[in-house]
Amino acid sequence: MNLLEHQGKYLLGSVGLSVPQGQIVDDAEAAASAAATLGGRVVCKAQITAGKRGKSGAVRIVDSADAVHDVAREILGAEVNGHRVESLLVEQAVDIASELYAAVLDDPAGKSPVLLFSTAGGMDIEEVNAAHPERVHRLPLDVRDGLPEAATRELLVASGLDRPDVAPVAEALAGIYRLYREADASLVEVNPLVVTTDGAVVAVDAKVTIDPASTHRQSDLLDGLPGGRPSGGGTDLERRGAEQGLSYIELDGDVGVLANGAGLTMTTLDAITHFGGRPANFLEIGGDAYTKATPALELVLSNPRVRSLLVNFCGAFARTDVMTDGVVRAIEELRPEVPISFTIHGTGEVEAIELVRERLGVQPYDLMDDAVQAAIADAHRETEEVSA
């Protein structure tokens, strides 16, 4: 469960971190009057659970209350990275001396929490890690010991952080860790954690994810958040999927995926990535693929980034010809413009393959790997034509 930035900051404030003074608003007039109350330079920040708002023009530093009115009108109601902006955080601008990255998160590979820290804050940490892995410092944690003070300070010194900043940053990290533990978070990320020109350490951004398995014992915390319990968030398409009873997760690639069962879908996503492609979605449809084929396909194709479609069915108890019949009907109804690659295995595959060949004039691939590579090639080909 992803919290909005202002909710994350509220929680960070409760564990002792400094956060900028601000107000949450949902119309331009309120934004302007918040700016006037706060005084001086303010930052207008779209409250959505997607990141990289800065790059998308959804975080704006503004000098006057009049200008805030215009900026608020521009951002409120707009769609940013697939999310509709319903509220705006208007905050006192911070004078930044340096931007740091700090996070405590679950590390599934290490089967423990991990502290991540970098002096290259304000940037996408994955990009920093790819270009300069030596600049991302990690400390695996043991929940029985908590955040070890000496090791934390050593890490901060090794990261190149200015000596006078080590103590206040270590204190901020202790708060971040405490929130991670007490809120049953899977992620508490502050990027940037800022050292101001006055030497104060301030959380300028906040991303907090609460483990959905813990929401039952975190109801006081969730109900006590400003703005109330988060709706669950998600992109417009993800919400649409949820309304139709489909577990759909929007990804940032271009190969649309329709497979049966979560396991096969995950395998398909892995195979796409393995062959150098990028999946556009996760979508779980099970044996009921037959009845949900049309809304499922509609959802997959509604993602504007989709340039090709990969259908991967594998049936044991659930018959693949029944699933395929549903999908073929959906394709006949929706007439997608993107190329489609099929691969079908298991119970009913002979009938299923015949169905696809006859009704759609498409030959399914014998091997999943070949279907995956064809779908990736289609996606790349389309992209080239579009950009040419």
The minimum distance between CB 101 and ligand GDP, in angstroms, equals 10
Contacted by 52, from ligand GDP, Mn ion, none: CB < 5 to 8 Å by type: ligand GDP
Contacted by 93, from Mn ion, ligand GDP, none: CB < 5 to 8 Å by type: ligand GDP
Contacted by 137, from ligand GDP, Mn ion, none: CB < 5 to 8 Å by type: none
Nearer to ligand GDP, 122 or 277 (CB): 122
Candidates 292, 293, 354, 351; CA nearest to 321 is 351
Q: Which of 192, 241, 256, 261 binds ligand GDP (CB under 6 A)?
A: 192
User: Interacting stretch for Mn ion, rule CB under 5 A, among 10-18, 162-170, 190-198, 317-325?
Assistant: 190-198
For residue 18, give the DSSP letter: B
In angstroms, rounded to a whole number, what is the distance separating the alpha carbons of residues 155 and 161?
9
* Binding letters toward Mn ion, positions 192-211, x by CB under 5 A: -------------x------
Nearer to ligand GDP, 4 or 375 (CB): 4
The minimum distance between CB 258 and Mn ion, in angstroms, equals 34
* Bond before 164 cis per omega within 30 degrees: no
Q: 162: alpha, beta or left, given left = phi > 0 and alpha = psi -120 to 50?
A: beta
Residue 296 near residue 336 (C-beta atoms within 8 A): no
Question: Contacts with ligand GDP in 41-60 (CB under 6 A)?
Answer: 43, 45, 51-54, 59
Residue 129 near residue 101 (C-beta atoms within 8 A): no
Question: Contacts with ligand GDP in 105-134 (CB under 6 A)?
Answer: 122
In angstroms, rounded to a whole number, what is the distance separating the alpha carbons of residues 170 and 195?
12
Q: Which of 49, 191, 268, 320 binds Mn ion (CB under 5 A)?
A: 191
Q: Does 5 bind Mn ion (CB under 5 A)?
A: no
User: Could you give the dihedral angle defined by the CA atoms of residues 105, 111, 112 and 113, in that order, rounded to the nearest 10 degrees?
Assistant: 0
Helices (H) and strands (E) in the chain, counts: 13, 17
Q: Which of 94, 139, 172, 344 binds ligand GDP (CB under 6 A)?
A: 94
How distant, in Å, are the alpha carbons of 19, 83, 266, 307 from that of 301?
41, 17, 19, 9
Q: Please count the other Cβ atoms lying within 10 Å of the Cβ belonging to residue 230.
A: 17
Helix 320-334 vs helix 349-360: crossing angle, to nearest 10? 20
Contacted by 96, from Mn ion, ligand GDP, none: CB < 5 to 8 Å by type: ligand GDP
User: Interacting stretch for ligand GDP, rule CB under 6 A, among 21-29, 75-83, 93-101, 220-228?
Assistant: 93-101
Q: Write out the residues near ligand GDP by the rule CB under 6 A.
A: 43, 45, 51-54, 59, 61, 93-94, 96, 99, 122, 191-192, 204-205
Q: Write out the residues near Mn ion by the rule CB under 5 A.
A: 191, 205
